[in-house]
Amino acid sequence: MALVPAGEFTMGSSMGDPDELPVRKVYVDAFYMDKHQVSVGRYGTFLDATSHEAPAEWDIMNKSMHQKRPVVNVDWADADAYCKWAGKRLPTEAEWEKAARGTDGRIYPWGNELPTDFHANMKKEVWNNHVVLTPVGMFEGGKSPYGVYDMAGNVWEWVNDWYGRDYYKTGPLKNPTGPSKGDYKVIRGGSWGSSPKDLRTTDREYRLPSFGGLGTGFRCAKTP
């Protein structure tokens, strides 16, 4: 895991969607973030150790050639259960954004230049039974300021927060954790099929907690 130190960072963007406003300074306590998205291999260890139900198409994912690729078809409860089993938790939306962009307000984890194939797995069109995904940690040039890989592209990542369209207007400026309830959970970071717009560190998307798609995975965080 990578340590993200305590302090303020700029959250939100004036160049994105309305739900990224207002841009504000947010303080987040120190936390650890997984350097990599949870892989098929690691998720398989979790399934072997528990009675948790395997995700759809697990027999296709769980092949030797895919063990280092990120797990997909996991809903929010699956992601939450894995993190708790591992002694961790899902990151908050604020933690995720800070781990992705750092404190200099960058547009992408690597900086402000548009993404290329050197930075992220993106703009693919055909699923092809998991082969479209790249093994975690391949894009050295796409790392975040804290050395976290794949925070843009490969798979969207579940975070802990409920989605609130106007939450940035009403949420606290210290350790925000999202609305107390809602219908949708937030996902971040874009996927193998995303355009550069979705790869921005500030882009917010949301899904029903029961959603588990071919472009959705997760990583865990931990309080020191």
19 pLDDT higher than 90 = yes
Tokens for 52, please give them. Answer: 């948790």
Taking residues 89-101, report their average pLDDT: 98
Name the pTM for this structure.
Answer: 0.96
pLDDT band at 215 (very low <50, low <70, confident <90, very high): very high
167 pLDDT higher than 90 = yes
Does 6 or 129 have the greater pLDDT score?
A: 6
What percentage of the chain carries pLDDT values higher than 70?
A: 100
**Residue 97: how many CB atoms within 10 A of its CB?**
27
CA distance 189 to 216: 10
Query: What are the tens digits of pLDDT across the range 53-75?
Result: 999 999 999 999 999 999 999 99
24 pLDDT higher than 90 = yes
Q: 27: part of which helix (H) or strand (E)?
A: strand 24-28
129 pLDDT higher than 90 = no
The per-residue pLDDT for 128 is: 86
Residue 156 main-chain phi, psi, to 5 deg: -60, 155
Taking residues 109-136, report their average pLDDT: 95
One-letter identity of residue 176: P
Average pLDDT over the chain, rounded to an integer? 97
Specify the fold of 2-222: paralog of FGE (formylglycine-generating enzyme) (3.90.1580)
CA distance 224 to 218: 20
Going by their DSSP bridges, the two strands 156-162 and 7-11 should be labelled as unpaired
199 pLDDT higher than 90 = yes
**Residue 44: how many CB atoms within 10 A of its CB?**
17
What percentage of the chain carries pLDDT values higher than 90?
A: 98
141 pLDDT higher than 90 = yes
Domain spans of the chain, in order of start: 2-222
Q: 25: part of which helix (H) or strand (E)?
A: strand 24-28
80 pLDDT higher than 90 = yes
